[in-house]
Each structure stands twice: as C-alpha cells, then as structure tokens.
C-alpha cells in the first residue's frame, strides 16, 4: 500500500507526496528527492518568489531564567535582545522570542546542527526547559524579491527591509493565525522563515500559495532547496 514509503516521522505537509514519487530520508522524515536538472531555473525561481516546507529540518525551544546562560556555555552566540535572531557559524539560527525564551532553527543543510543530533545535547539544567518546537510548530520558508510584498497581503506588520532588517523577528498575526516571522535573508537572497502552530500549517500553506500567485511564485521541494542553498 502507498503508505509504506513513508518513515514514521511526518510533517504536516508530508501528505502531498504520491506513491510513485522518488523519496529520500532526512532526519527521519520522508521527502521528495531532489531533481538535479533545471537547477538554474530553480535558482531563478528562488530569487524571484518561492515557497517551501522546511518542517523536516530540526528545531527546538529553550526557555527559563537559565536558558541564556545554558546556550552561552555551549558556545552559542546569542542575539542582542528579544525579537532578534543571530546566525551561528555552522548555519543554524537562534531567535530570542522573549526575555527568557529562545528558538533554535537548524541550518538548511544535510548535516544536522550539533544540538539537533539527538534531542538532549543541551542538558537542560535547573531553570532551563526544552520546548517541543519540532512538533508544536511547522516551518515554512518564503524566498525572493517578493517576500515583503507577499507578506503585506497577509500581515499588518511592516516587513520591508527598512523596517525589518536581517535578523529581525516578528511575532504577530499572519492571515489571522499566530506566527513567528524571521528575516533569515542572506547577502544573495531575501528569505523569510515562517513558524506557525503545526495544526495550522496546511491552512497557511494554502494561503501562501494564493498570495504568491500574483508574483509568479512557485513551490519548491526542500531537497531541491538544500541542493542549491545548503
């Protein structure tokens, strides 16, 4: 039966695969395999307007009076203040959501970030609590010149480059649901990460597909994205 191709771990948007699709496994999740041809066209699409499901990448939350200290001790580089994010040398991202809460997002790469190899490398001592962000939140990425304009159709916060620089974090309402928007742009390509309640991921995906239509946006598989950006 078709279900046998899937591993045990699934993202909210995994069900869009079909029985005869070519698949690979990433972090225990089943994804459509990358298609090597037309990489240039895909790169162009990423630069213009693309939408992808990054939910198979690792993420976790850390909260508590000692959370910041725990991260610093492990050698991570923390953002300056709440609602900002800092890139780590190995490519993962740490966003500070409040005075005592952090969100760690894995690097867009095939090699998992150190904290993601298993769920307990960060030993949460007293005053420091792990949050199950791998399961509570879905993770989508929106790339290209269009990002601020697409978001302006869905969100009442000004996310233009002047108002929302790289590393900016906005916790707000997107298309009437709660979401976290992170400006994870690189020098070469604008990119927004969107994190939302995992139960709302299919809803937000359909909203975004509609919103990017105006900009000739298209969806892209995560493996294709990692092949280009990883």
Partner 1 sequence: MNRYEPPAALHDTATDRLAAPMGRRIDRQAPRRFQFEGTPYAGYAGDTLASALIANGRYLLSRSFKYHRPRGPLTLAGQDANTLVQLPDEPNVLADTQPLTEGLSVYGQNYAGSLDADRDMKLGALAKFMPVGFYYRAFYKPKGVWKYWEPLIRKKAGLGVFDLDADAGYHDKAYLFADVAVVGSGPAGLKAALTAADGGARVLLIEQEPELGGALTYARFATDTAPSERLLDDLVAEVEAHDNIRLLCNATCNGWFKDHYLPVIQGRRLYKVRAKACIVASGAFDQPAIFRNNDLPGIMLASAAQRLMRHYAIKPGQRAVVLTGNDDGYLAALDLVEQGVEVAALVDMRAAPNETKLGDAVEAQGIARYREHTIFEAHHAKAHHRVTGVELRPIAGRGEVGEARTDIACDVVCMSAGYMPAYQLLCQAGGKLSYCDETAQFAISGLPKRLYVAGSANGFHALDRVVHDGARAATQALRDLGHQVDVLDAPKGALEQVNYPWPMFAHPKGKEFVDFDEDLQIADIINATRHGYRDVQLVKRFSTVGMGPSQGRHSALPTARLVAAATERSVSDTGVTTARPPFAAETLAHLAGRHFDPFRQTPMHRRHVELGAHMMPAGDWQRPAYYPSRAGTLERLRCQQEEARHVREKVGIIDVSTLGGIEVRGPDAAEFINRIYTFGFLKQPIGRTRYAAMTNEQGVVIDDGVSCRLAEDHFYVTATTSGVGRVYQSMLQWNAQWRLDVDIANVTSAYAAVNVAGPLARQLLERVCTGVDLSAEAFPYLGLREGFIGEAPAYLLRVGFVGELGFELHVPSRYGEYLWDTLMEAGKDLELRPFGVEAQRLLRLEKGHVIIGQDTDGMSHPFEINMGWAVNRTKPFFVGRRAVDILHSHPPLRRLVGFRLPSTSAKPLEGHLVLEGERISGNVTSCEYSPTLDAIIGLAYAAPERGEPGQRITIRTEGGETVTADVVALPFFDPDNQRQEL
Partner 2 sequence: MKLMHCPLNGPRNISEFIYGGELKEMPSPESCSDREWADYVFYSDNTAGVVTEWWMHVASSYWFLAERHTVTDEVLRTFDPKEIFTHRVTFTATEARP
Q: Which does 105 bind (CB under 5 to 8 A by kind): partner 2, partner 1, none?
A: none
Residue 105 makes contact with partner 1 by CB under 8 A: no
The single residue among 32, 130, 157, 228 that binds partner 2, judged by CB under 8 A, is 157
Q: Three-state DSSP class for 102?
A: strand
The single residue among 70, 95, 137, 191 that binds partner 1, judged by CB under 8 A, is 137
- Please count the CA atoms within 13 angstroms of the CA of 76 that sit on its side-chain side: 29
Cβ-Cβ contacts under 8 Å for 117 (sequence gap 6 or more): none
Query: How many residues touch partner 2 (CB under 8 A)?
Result: 14
Element (H, E) at 92: none
The single residue among 5, 32, 152, 227 that binds partner 1, judged by CB under 8 A, is 152
Q: Which two tokens stand for residue 197?
A: 């309640």
What CA–CA distance (Å, rounded) separates 151 from 168? Answer: 14
The single residue among 69, 83, 100, 136 that binds partner 2, judged by CB under 8 A, is 83
To 10 degrees, what angle do helices 222-229 and 39-48 make?
90
The contact set with partner 1 (CB under 8 A) reads 3, 6, 8-12, 14-15, 29, 63-64, 126-127, 129, 131-132, 134-137, 149, 152-156, 158, 160, 162-163, 175-177, 197-200, 202-203, 207, 210
């Amino acid at each position: 039966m078709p279900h046998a191709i899937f591993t045990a771990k699934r993202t909210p948007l995994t069900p869009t695969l079909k029985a005869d699709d070519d698949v690979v496994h990433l972090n225990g999740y089943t994804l459509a395999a990358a298609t090597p041809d037309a990489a240039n066209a895909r790169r162009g699409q990423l630069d213009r307007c693309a939408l992808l499901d990054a939910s198979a990448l690792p993420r976790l939350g850390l909260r508590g009076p000692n959370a910041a200290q725990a991260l610093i001790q492990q050698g991570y580089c923390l953002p300056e203040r709440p609602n900002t994010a800092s890139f780590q040398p190995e490519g993962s991202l740490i966003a500070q959501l409040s005075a005592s809460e952090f969100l760690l997002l894995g690097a867009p790469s095939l090699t998992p970030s150190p904290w993601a190899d298993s769920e307990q490398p960060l030993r949460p001592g007293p005053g420091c609590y792990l949050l199950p962000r791998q399961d509570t939140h879905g993770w989508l990425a929106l790339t290209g010149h269009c990002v601020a304009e697409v978001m302006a159709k869905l969100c009442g916060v000004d996310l233009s480059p002047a108002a929302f620089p790289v590393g900016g974090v906005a916790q707000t309402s997107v298309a009437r649901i709660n979401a976290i928007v992170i400006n994870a742009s690189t020098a070469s390509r604008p990119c927004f990460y969107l994190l939302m309640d995992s139960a709302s991921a299919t809803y937000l995906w359909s909203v975004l597909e509609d919103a990017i239509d105006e900009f000739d946006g298209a969806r892209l598989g995560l493996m294709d994205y990692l092949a280009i950006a990883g």
